[in-house]
Structure 1
Amino acid sequence: MTRIVLVHGIAQQFKGAETLSADWYPALSDGVGLASGKRIAPSEVSMAFYGDLFRPAGHRGIGIPDLDATDIQGDIESELLWEWWKFTATRDPAVPRPDAPARLRTPNMVQRALDALSHSAFFAGLSERMLIFSARQVRSYFTDPGIRAAAQHRLVAQVTPETRVIVAHSLGTVVAYEALCAHPYWHDLTLVTLGSPLAVRNLIFDRLLPRPIHGNARWPAPVTRWTNIFDEGDAVCLVKTLAPRFGGRISDLSVHNGAAAHDVRPYLSARETGQAIAEALAPGPSGVHAEQG
């Protein structure tokens, strides 16, 4: 009985649905318990896993491929690194500020961005190749129709007539938003987005399907309530609030996740997240009707 569908973000390619569920479930239960005193049974929760779509094909190396500044492909990867650099430089004194007005168009500038990010507290522990590979997953989602469709299908396959709430993190909020827009005959769903980059212009917002019109995105028809939760120090959700672009019905709430600003677990264990989920599960009219035909 899947009442809660979870949707993960990037850099999960070597895990799986069960591994991630085991990681997310305790924090989700803590958040709901803190807010309402209720308990969520494991059987009520399922993970829409799509990380394997980004798993590299077999090669002689171990883990992700060796990548460096010369491997950056296209505007999305370079612009994403640039935006991460700008954001972290404003909040972390250990990160030098970009002193060139131009975007990252050369390997030298890309290398400077990677060097700067490697010294930031936010990206601590991430190697250059992991930073590049993370940016590449975002590019792949938006430029590879097969990956985009397959990721959304993984979510659609988890939604049942008992589903009441979709909880999505990071790139998963993009997957969830587009899948919900593509299934207008579902109804009475609550959407909870955590650390969402949905409102980041050019990189994310302007690439969404359906396309935003005059700077405004379409409201996903099945969603009756949408709570967006962010940490001010989260470099992935560069634009924190979604209501200005997606509609005033969104409740944008700020939380503090400590040093792990983008980590899904402190997002899930926050009272604000638990409250949004508990309200969605409270008795009342609900349910998802699958599309016919």
Structure 2
Amino acid sequence: MSRVVLVHGIAQQYKGSQTLLADWYPALADGLALATGVQLPYEDVSMAFYGDVFRPAGHRGLGVPELDASDVMDGLERDLLLQWWAEAAEADPAVPGPEAPARLRTPYLVQRALDALSHSAFFAGLSERLLIWSARQVRTYFTDAEVRAVIQQRLERCVTADTELIVAHSLGSVVAYETLCAHPDWRDMSLVTLGSPLAVRNLVFERLLPPPVDGRGSWPSPVKRWLNVADRGDVVPLVKQLAPRFGERIRDVSIHNGAKAHDVRPYLTARETGLGIAEGLGLT
């Protein structure tokens, strides 16, 4: 029964709970040791894995389905790619920004966004189809009620009477937030969110369950302490601070992750994250 439950983000469909846990645990242990010198046993940590929900059914070819700009759907999928593009252009002078986007047809505009993102430092090495597939996973979570429910059930099964802390990355922070809100009966616990898009207006914030009221998101009843960590250059959390939308009880912390700003590992190895985990476990 784990004291810490981890929740991953998008594009993990070909991994598994143990694969991801083996990847995350050393970084988490390093951040905790850097902050406090304390070691957390491996058996005290578990991964709420849901990546397989997005694994494509059998199709021709291997890996991610063949996708191009013409496959990008209007609405959330398109808007998310355009927002990533605008943010990447602002953070990286080498990335050309959007120009008069409202005047351009969707396929051409999206193709420009994909070209720019695939050559940016942030998304370097990601193919166009993987970028589209990542945006599609976000859209699917918010528009497919069955997928949303199955993903939240994966986290529900990992949380027990021994759970003291949830650490959630990227889309996983949305999963953790909504699941915690749905379980006011759970014991008090702490929450650490890393690279979270929860406060992104129009794309994420207004789509949350329960819905925000008067521009404010609900506070998850079981959460007694909430640390939100964001890299200033991370493109995914377009809004870096959560406190203005979810309450001043949130402690927003800014860090620097280097070139891989959204990678969970530098988030976890940061002293600030390690200290937040230690506080959540009562180790300080």
Same fold, TM exceeding 0.5?
yes
1:113 is matched with 113
CA distance 1:244–1:105, change in 2 (3 Å): farther
2:94 is matched with 94
CA–CA distance in structure 2, aligned partners of residues 282 and 249 of structure 1: 18
Q: Is the 8 A contact 1:79 1:104 kept in 2?
A: no
For 2:80, what is the secondary structure of its paired residue? helix
Q: Is the 8 A contact 1:76 1:203 kept in 2?
A: yes
CA distance 1:104–1:63, change in 2 (3 Å): farther
Q: Taking structure 1 as the reference length, what is the TM-score of the superposition?
A: 0.95
1:230 is matched with 230
Match runs of 1:97-246 below 5 Å: 97-102=97-102, 106-246=106-246
The superposition leaves residues 101-130 of structure 1 with CA deviations (integer Å, 9 ceiling, x where unpaired) of: 418751111111111111110000000000
CA distance 1:219–1:103, change in 2 (3 Å): farther
For 1:154, what is the secondary structure of its paired residue? helix
Q: Is the 8 A contact 1:27 1:265 kept in 2?
A: yes
CA–CA distance in structure 2, aligned partners of residues 115 and 170 of structure 1: 23
CA–CA distance in structure 1, aligned partners of residues 117 and 128 of structure 2: 9
Q: Is the 8 A contact 2:101 2:109 kept in 1?
A: no
CA distance 1:223–1:258, change in 2 (3 Å): same
The superposition leaves residues 40-73 of structure 1 with CA deviations (integer Å, 9 ceiling, x where unpaired) of: 1110000000000000001121101000001012
CA–CA distance in structure 1, aligned partners of residues 105 and 26 of structure 2: 43
CA–CA distance in structure 2, aligned partners of residues 68 and 58 of structure 1: 19
2:281 is matched with 281
2:11 is matched with 11
Larger mean CA deviation between 30-39 and 172-181 belongs to 30-39
1:47 is matched with 47
Deviation at 1:187, TM superposition (A): 2.5
The superposition leaves residues 204-254 of structure 1 with CA deviations (integer Å, 9 ceiling, x where unpaired) of: 000000000110000000000000000000000000000000000000001
Structure 1 segments of 4+ aligned residues over 4 angstroms from their partners: none
Larger mean CA deviation between 111-120 and 227-236 belongs to 111-120
For 1:74, what is the secondary structure of its paired residue? coil
Deviation at 1:131, TM superposition (A): 0.4
1:60 is matched with 60
Letter in 1 for 2:13: Q
CA distance 1:181–1:236, change in 2 (3 Å): same
CA–CA distance in structure 2, aligned partners of residues 104 and 158 of structure 1: 46
2:33 is matched with 33
Letter in 2 for 1:96: P
Q: Give the share of equivalent positions with the same residue, in percent.
A: 68
Q: Which runs of 5 or more residues in structure 2 are unaligned?
A: none
Letter in 1 for 2:224: T
CA distance 1:113–1:2, change in 2 (3 Å): same
For 1:252, what is the secondary structure of its paired residue? strand
Deviation at 1:283, TM superposition (A): 6.4
Q: Is the 8 A contact 1:80 1:135 kept in 2?
A: yes
CA–CA distance in structure 1, aligned partners of residues 283 and 79 of structure 2: 45
CA RMSD of the aligned region, Å? 1.2
CA–CA distance in structure 1, aligned partners of residues 195 and 273 of structure 2: 12
Larger mean CA deviation between 86-95 and 51-60 belongs to 86-95
Q: Is the 8 A contact 1:104 1:110 kept in 2?
A: no
Deviation at 1:74, TM superposition (A): 3.1
For 1:167, what is the secondary structure of its paired residue? strand
The superposition leaves residues 143-200 of structure 1 with CA deviations (integer Å, 9 ceiling, x where unpaired) of: 0011100111000100011100000000000000000000001132100000000000
Q: Is the 8 A contact 2:232 2:256 kept in 1?
A: yes
Q: Is the 8 A contact 1:72 1:132 kept in 2?
A: yes
For 1:60, what is the secondary structure of its paired residue? coil
2:250 is matched with 250
Q: Is the 8 A contact 1:141 1:148 kept in 2?
A: yes
Letter in 1 for 2:206: D
1:287 is matched with none
